[in-house]
Amino acid sequence: MILPVWRQHQQHMADQLVRALASQPAPIVHLFRFPQLTINHAIVLFGCAETPGSVQFRAYDPNIPSQPTELTYQRSDRTFYFPRNHYWAGGKLDVVEVYRGWFY
């Protein structure tokens, strides 16, 4: 990755992930910060709940397999947020879908 991620792209990504959860079993997403690289990780999404202000994605984190976690997309600032855990201080990050199928 050599270019920053634009907020419009993150808005599109959130919409894409909501649609993907309705039509495919479990999208895999890459969580990262650029250029800091304070996080560089992948999780599997398995559900979501939308409100007028946000989308709460339910996720499986392979680093914490004992319980589900949440990835939140805030519509007001078009930004994803991931909670604090043992490998991440918590806060905003960028998200891209990793794999959609053979012809992604």
Dist. CA 3–CA 16, nearest whole Å = 21
Q: What is the pLDDT of residues 54-94, one digit of tens each?
A: 999 999 999 999 999 999 999 999 999 999 999 999 999 99
CA separation for the pair 13, 68 (Å, rounded):
21
Residue 62: how many other CB atoms lie within 10 Å:
9
State which H helix or E strand residue 9 sits in: helix 7-23
Is residue 41 one of the residues assigned to a domain? Answer: yes
Print the domain residue range for 39.
Answer: 7-99
Residue 56 domain flag: yes
Please state, in angstroms and rounded to a whole number, the distance separating the CA atoms of residues 36 and 33.
6
pLDDT at 2: 56
- The answer to whether residue 2 sits within a structural domain is no
Segment 30-53, tens digit of pLDDT: 999 988 889 999 999 999 999 999
How many domains would you assign to the chain? 1
Q: Does residue 93 sit within a domain?
A: yes
Instruction: Check residue 12 and report its DSSP letter.
Output: H
